[in-house]
Structure 1
Amino acid sequence: MPVSPDLELFLREQLQGRVHSRPMFGGFGLYLGEKPAGYLFNDALYLRRLPALEPLLDLLPERPPAEPPVRGAQPYWRIEPDLWEDPDWLLDLLRAASEAAPARRPRRPRRAKTPAEH
């Protein structure tokens, strides 16, 4: 499940800083703005299987495999690094995934500690 830091840097450089990443579950979450766009695990990019991605995936000579990034997870599209060479296609793919993702839920405010809890 680990991701090479060089691979994460390569992906961000390909996209010229238009995405940012956060460490997540031994890999990285990729974000456009505040919305998740994809995940880096096992040295590959994983994207949710969303209908919005179908037209962009149809441009490939072969459909990428759908497999879970970690044991017990739902299947995601696995986009191998050799498909990252076209930054415009890759950004369109991440943008479509981000736009189709639900908005982030606001966090609950922390409750104030009572004097007995100090």
Structure 2
Amino acid sequence: MPGAICQTARMASDRRTIDFIVDQIAAAGDVVAKPMFGEYGIYCDGRMVALVCDDRLFVKQTAGGRAVAGDVDEGAPYPGAKPCLSIDQDRWDDRDWLTDLIRVSAAELPLPKPRKRKGG
């Protein structure tokens, strides 16, 4: 059922999936994957640009990213999340396209706000 991604029986994403995606988009910038609540956030140049939930890739929506992505489905990576671009696995092998999507999307996303230090 579309839109029900990560809402049913949750399985943590396989680390091999994360490693593959990070390798595919490494040329987009400084790319790292960080564990988040049993799944992973993908960061490019300090900006969270995508999530991997249940071995599915969700890229945050931006105008430029949507233009690069073309006709892709939207989906929520977890209940209550804003809709993201849902990138099918068959597109993951297109390194140039995926790298461009991540690079363009990251350029339009804000840097995270600095955390306030406790007891400072």
- Interval containing the TM-score (normalised by the shorter chain): 0.7 to 0.9
Partner of 2:114: 106
Work out the number of aligned pairs and report it.
108
Aligned-residue offset at 1:100? 1.1
Match of 2:6 in 1: none
Provide the TM-score with structure 1 as the length reference: 0.81
**Please, what TM-score do these two structures have when normalized by structure 2?**
0.80
The one-letter code matched in structure 1 to 2:108 is A
- 1:14 is displaced (CA, Å) by 2.1
Contact kept in structure 2, 1:37 and 1:95, CA below 8 Å = no
Aligned to 2:38, which of 23, 26, 34?
26
- The answer on whether the counterparts of 2:24 and 2:99 sit within 8 Å (CA) in structure 1 is no
Residue 6 (structure 1) aligned with residue 32 (structure 2)? no
Larger Rg: 1
Question: For structure 1, which runs of at least 5 residues remain unmatched after alignment?
Answer: 113-118
Separation in structure 2 between the aligned mates of residue 16 and residue 103 of structure 1, nearest angstrom: 19
Give per-residue Cα distances to partners, 1:11-36, cap 9 Å, x unaligned.
12223475211001221111112111
Structure 1, residues 49-81: CA drift from partner, whole Å, max 9, x if none? 2211122112xxxx2211111112121111122
RMSD over equivalenced CA pairs, Å: 1.7
Unmatched segments (≥5 aa) in structure 2: 1-9
Aligned-residue sequence identity (percent) comes to 26
